[in-house]
Structure 1
Amino acid sequence: MERPTESLLTRIDRYLADPRLEPEAQLRKRWAWIWMVVTFVFVVITSFVELVVLNLWPIWWFGVVFLAGYAIGFPLFRRLKRFDLVINIVFTVFTTAAMFAMLQVGGLTHSLGFVFIGMNCAMGSILAGNLRWTIGMFAWYCVTILVVGIFQPSLTTPDFVTQQANTISFVGLTFWINACILFIVILFMKDKSRYEKAEAEKLRKIDEAKTRLFTNVSHEFRTPLTVIQGMTEQMEKHPEQWRKTGPEKIKTQSQILLRLVNQMLNIAKIEANEMPLALIHGDINSFIRFLAESFHSLAESLHIDLIVNHEEKQAFTDYDPDKLMHVVSNLLSNALKFTPAGGRIYVNVDKSTDEDKEVVRIIIKDTGRGIPQESLEKIFDRFYQAPDKPDQTPGTGLGLALASELIKLMKGEIRVKSQEGQGAEFTVSLPLTNVANVSKDHGISAINQEAIDAGIPKTTFSSGNGGFFKRKDHLPLLLIVEDNNDVIEYLRAILEKHYRIELAPNGKVGLEKARNIIPDLILSDVMMPQMDGFEMLEQLKADIRTDHIPVVILTARGDFDSKLIGLEHGADHYLVKPFSEKELLLKLNNLLELRKKMQKQLGSIPFSRPGPNVQYRQETLFMKRLNSLIETELNNENFGINDICLSMNMSRAQLYRKFGALTDNSVGRYLRSCRLLHAKSLLEKHGRNVTEAAFESGFRNLSHFSTCFHEEFGFTPKDLIR
């Protein structure tokens, strides 16, 4: 339950709320207002006592000055942003009035306690938080005391200032000044405690931001390092094969790493005010059109329409082409990253008027997933990231923050509008100026194409890689679910000698392929578009057709929590990029060896009933269900593979792949073995003759039954009876 004081403070804050003030200033405004209210109440009470009880009517004007000051001060204090100016002017008037009152009543010795009023006003000015005014108030108070002291010898005490009145008034004002001092001390202690907590919270958030930054940077580094390390190893082993493509891939991934490092260095330069501007005067429309063309091929490969304003409207202004390139490249990369296939991205440049200033606007709008409302105000904060989704690669939290800082350097502004699920719209506004030197090519020659390429997401998936790389039917079938072509090529290089390889660009396609082809193993990334690796893994383990398939998670997320999530979803192994080739091959091979042990355990004896501690729980459940179905239909000669498929809700190919993976046997042979084992049991233990045993086991052709029986056990049914 909320305390009354908290409720009162909440109402006071609502009454004094001013969106122009920072939280710290708003807090000072609250305490200063409380001080003024308390002082006002005391003045009303004191005026009543002095005028009615002590008969001090000659100084009635002092109470009027106080009431008039507050009548003017309270409304201005609430409405004006400079509330500190209001309170200090009012207190200056009160201190001056107190000086004249002391001169009227006979000086310091018979001041009726007015000597404390100026001191109280000077201390009250502390709450406004303006050091200069506070020093000025204390100085003016000292001046008033000095003036009264100078005139003291020439002053006389009037008759209405009796000893009793002077004592009572002096004691009352003494209590008042002590209460005010206590109030100041309490506020100071509260502010000190709040400041210490705020500093501790600030340090905690900084540490969290640093930890998050280092974690995210390590995530961003892992995939490029995987390709660089892998390509280096492959070039050492097979120099001829990788002579051309190897160095190119290493260079591309190195550019990605360099871009990440440069982002952090640029942030540091901006903080140190060491980021120079290299402004040129050119047509910003031509510059943006040229820059956007670099992203067309990627947009086409992702089946996204990139629509650029092709109108020949010139928009000449001053801008830094290198910094503008980084900003626009970042915004386009993000748009491509978060826009699904079939979506659109619009790039437009126009002139406009913003707050009576002519500006050039660069608008980049997409039809992607959008940004949550709670993240819009923080999206340009350093290290901030919108709530992470499993199907997106976490960034460093520097891209948009750097873009915002670079635009500010060019005296511009960047804004965002978005609704979750309906895309986002970023607007960059630059002032329309003509100070820099004219550039004939509009700054296009200053564009660093390698820097642009490094900023383009390397998550394209070549449609030409969608089948088996090499057809070797005797090799195990491995499904690789990965959206980065360079990583795929490296994996193909180290695995194609040992496996038949099938590819999927994301979890959604991977799930469909796994259900259709029933691979022996799955090697999957986590952060992919449309469906992430964890969701795919969860659905694989919940499907009777695929719950037996060993899955190795391969990801840049190496933190402990991510590993736990993967293992909780049923991953058999968790490999963090960059990984060792030997480790990957060993883990895949160990999983296959475990499969062989499972096949021996599950497929050797029909109708086996493993105990509750069996290692292969899901596989055992499948075999129990199959065995129960076969046992029920043993005497049905028409019961066959099609009936099993219908009952299991599987296609014939899926059943064959699933059963073969579990038992290393064909389902038809297994069904026949079950029938023959049942027949053998009827002959041995239940005294049936050959005809009865054959019919009760689903055989109607006695000759065929005898032949199959001999093939299975090495002797005929008649031999068994004898």
Structure 2
Amino acid sequence: MKYVSTKDIIVRIDRYLADPRLDAETQLRKRWAWIWMVVTCVFVAITSFVELVILKLWPIWWFGFIFWAGYLIGFPLYRRMKRFDLVINILFTVFIVAALFAMLQTGGISTSLGFIFIGMNCAMGSMLAGNLRWTIGMFVTYCVTIIILGLFQSSLTTPEYITPRVNTLSFVGLTVWINACILLIVILFMKDKSRYEKSEAEKLRKIDEAKTKLFTNVSHEFRTPLTVIQGIAEQMEQHPEKWMQSGPGKIKMQSQLLLRLVNQMLNIAKIEADEMHLELIHGDICRFIRYVAGTFQSLADSMKVELILNQQEDPIYTDYDPDKLMHVLSNLLSNAIKFTPPGGLVCLEVSIAPEKNKEVILISVRDTGRGIPEASVSKIFERFYQVPDKHDQTSGTGLGLAVTYELIKLMNGKISVESREGKGSVFTVLLPVSKTAEKAADHGVSMISSETAHAGITKAKADDRTYDTDTIQAEKPVLLIVEDNKDVVEYLQTILQKEYNLEIAPNGEAGYEKAMEIIPDIILSDVMMPLMDGFEMLEKLKADIRTDHIPVVILTARGDFNSKLAGLAIGADHYLIKPFNEKELRLKLGNLLELRRKMQKHFGTLPFQPQDENSSFKPEGLFIKRINALIEKEMGNEDFGINDICFSMNMSRAQLYRKFSAITNNSIGKYLRSFRLYKAKELLENQGKNVTETAFETGFKNLSHFSTCFHEEFGFSPNKLVR
């Protein structure tokens, strides 16, 4: 026989009583009250058998009939009705009244056969239904029955069938029953208390996690604008003639971003403290929304996203708070633009819609972006929540939509979201129409500014300028900057352009493609970027033989220890945290290039030098070893050349030249010839071969050409080594 655990029984009970109309707490109450009813029903069955069959108490058979009839009606209603508490309380009230008449029939309290405990049991069972008023009423009803019995006790007579023995046995049975029920209530209470304590502990844990996450996210968000502000301030101090005009504007823009982040945190604090109040004006909301949408046009253009506004021609006059409505629209539009790829569409629609015999203003923001995963839709308005997505790493605090939700709630409105992953999202806002506030001449437009309206996104596309690789100065190393913040890119260009030939990529995907194309000498990359983050790009570069030798410096706002460990584990050579020190960045880049020069000396001098397995240049050593093995295999093939090496290594000619030059500071063509000549020298010195045999075995079919090349490489002719 299969063992059924208590947990399995509880699961089956919950499945039987499940009601989607009830919340989890009410469903729990319904379960315990139902168990109470079942236990009572079982006891009544046993009691009825004992009293009617064994004790022969047939005159009170009607009491058992009322119990059974009540349960036959009550159980089906209890399962189906939302107000199950009414079912159980009405049923128990009937039982208390029936117990009163039974005790009047048996002669009062002292000869009640223990029926006095039935009313107490029903009153206590009422507690499990969770309706305080009904529970109090049940106890009052029970106490009234006791008072009535006391008042009529002197006029009551005890029937002959109630003997002392029968009365005692019944009292003992009902006493045991009532104590068992009290124990059950205590157990249920203790379980509820334990569950409550665990719930509170879990709530405190989540609050602590949320605070930690908030501080981490805010620090990430603060670091990038602080990097720009600090860097531009230094440049203004060092080169005032160049930066005095453009510097203050860039600092102001980054300051607006910081201010917006601070305001979001303050708004959350005000909402929690119930100190956020509406400052309503009466005006044309269409005109106001048209102005706010216009401030996002340049942002949409820079992100190559089409922004469309659809609204009716007639004005819609209503009361609204310009500042709070601007924040709502700003969050919705900025998110839509940020998460919509180039060539996509963002549509803002405004209209009047009927709702329950009244009119509401319907504002919807629709995009063709990446959409929201189904599991995240229900959590999107929670504080600090950010949708997990590896393919579009963009930073944030997780406060924007939470503030939006609270502001709309403050305006007595509603917000909802519909989304399909990979297809896009639609955020819909419903605001009530009212006409009680004072009319504003400019419809609230003067209360906002275009700078604060979309300060939430300063990460427009990074500078798309490219450099002709044919004109790059040979004496300068090539540095690839992978960064999506235009101001950070401009600052890095300013401080590094004298020492490096700079290439720019606006995200990890473009950075990876650019690195594969040009094989730069060094890469400087951010982490949080759209399309592909810096870690993913780094992982792909280090896994590819064409790019695994390139030193990479991570420059990011993610300053937590785990992120740093993750970057270094993937293969980053250095990990710098924004805001960074200019001298430290220069020094780290310079040290990496100096290390590269040592590597070139190591691999460029002796082609046959065996590689130590513990060498710090292990990937580069494996690459050279593979090249050597190819040349060794085709040593006697005069036609074997660079194109064959490219085919075997799955590299283009330019990629092979760039990588080989970066490792050895030598050309692959010269290295191939030197390799053959060193092999020829070895054959002549150690194996006693003659010049003709040696030339043919090392891929030289022309003896004159072989002698000329040998003399150029070693300073003497091959004949001097012939024994």
Q: Any idea what SS the aligned residue of 1:417 has?
A: strand
Q: Any idea what SS the aligned residue of 1:454 has?
A: coil
Q: 1:209: which partner in 2?
A: 210
Q: 1:688: which partner in 2?
A: 689
CA distance in 2, matches of 1:382, 1:338: 19
Contact 2:458 2:485 (8 Å CA) reproduced: no
Within 5 A, what are the aligned runs for 1:374-413? 374-389=375-390, 391-413=392-414
Q: 1:641: which partner in 2?
A: 642
- 1:116 CA drift (Å): 0.6
- 1:342 CA drift (Å): 1.6
Moved more, 43-52 or 27-36: 43-52
One-letter code aligned to 2:367: D
Q: Any idea what SS the aligned residue of 1:360 has?
A: strand
Contact 2:311 2:351 (8 Å CA) reproduced: no
- 1:718 CA drift (Å): 3.7
Moved more, 467-476 or 430-439: 467-476
- 1:115 CA drift (Å): 1.0
Q: 2:446: which partner in 1?
A: 445
CA distance in 2, matches of 1:659, 1:469: 18
Contact 2:464 2:505 (8 Å CA) reproduced: no
Q: How high is the TM-score relative to the length of structure 2?
A: 0.95
Q: 2:514: which partner in 1?
A: 513
Deviations 1:127-180 (A, max 9, x none): 122333323322332222122112212221122322232122212211110110
- Count the aligned residue pairs: 722
- 2:321 matches 1:324: no
- 2:387 matches 1:366: no
Q: 2:532: which partner in 1?
A: 531
What is the RMSD of the two structures over their aligned residues, measured on CA atoms?
2.3
Within 5 A, what are the aligned runs for 1:699-718? 699-718=700-719
Moved more, 201-210 or 431-440: 431-440
CA distance in 2, matches of 1:500, 1:619: 23
Q: Any idea what SS the aligned residue of 1:584 has?
A: helix
CA distance in 1, matches of 2:602, 2:133: 87
Contact 1:298 1:460 (8 Å CA) reproduced: no
CA distance in 1, matches of 2:515, 2:630: 25
Contact 2:360 2:432 (8 Å CA) reproduced: yes
CA distance in 1, matches of 2:494, 2:264: 33
Q: 1:484: which partner in 2?
A: 485
Q: Please, which runs of 5 or more residues in structure 1 have no aligned partner?
A: none
Distance change >3 Å, CA 378–CA 232, structure 1 → 2: same
- 1:463 CA drift (Å): 2.6
Q: Any idea what SS the aligned residue of 2:673 has?
A: helix
One-letter code aligned to 1:411: N
Q: Any idea what SS the aligned residue of 2:455 has?
A: helix
Q: 1:148: which partner in 2?
A: 149
One-letter code aligned to 2:119: G
Distance change >3 Å, CA 235–CA 106, structure 1 → 2: same
- 1:720 CA drift (Å): 4.4
Deviations 1:219-273 (A, max 9, x none): 1111112112222222222222211222222211111111111111111111111
CA distance in 2, matches of 1:12, 1:572: 59
One-letter code aligned to 1:346: C
- 1:673 CA drift (Å): 1.5
Contact 1:390 1:527 (8 Å CA) reproduced: no
Contact 1:107 1:148 (8 Å CA) reproduced: yes
Q: 2:679: which partner in 1?
A: 678
Q: Any idea what SS the aligned residue of 1:184 has?
A: helix
One-letter code aligned to 2:44: V
Within 5 A, what are the aligned runs for 1:544-693? 544-693=545-694
Distance change >3 Å, CA 435–CA 465, structure 1 → 2: farther
Within 5 A, what are the aligned runs for 1:293-332? 293-332=294-333
Deviations 1:411-464 (A, max 9, x none): 110001111111111100112332323334332222232321312342322334
- 1:113 CA drift (Å): 0.4
- 1:98 CA drift (Å): 1.9
Q: Any idea what SS the aligned residue of 1:346 has?
A: strand
Identical columns (%): 69
CA distance in 1, matches of 2:156, 2:547: 105
Within 5 A, what are the aligned runs for 1:126-275? 126-275=127-276
Q: Any idea what SS the aligned residue of 1:445 has?
A: helix
Moved more, 587-596 or 606-615: 606-615
Contact 2:680 2:698 (8 Å CA) reproduced: yes
Distance change >3 Å, CA 448–CA 65, structure 1 → 2: farther
One-letter code aligned to 1:289: R
Q: Any idea what SS the aligned residue of 1:463 has?
A: coil
Q: 1:352: which partner in 2?
A: 353
Q: How high is the TM-score relative to the length of structure 1?
A: 0.95
Q: Any idea what SS the aligned residue of 2:481 has?
A: strand
One-letter code aligned to 1:396: T
Q: 1:79: which partner in 2?
A: 80
Q: Please, which runs of 5 or more residues in structure 2 have no aligned partner?
A: none
Q: 1:13: which partner in 2?
A: 14
Q: Any idea what SS the aligned residue of 1:98 has?
A: helix
One-letter code aligned to 2:103: M
- 1:22 CA drift (Å): 2.2
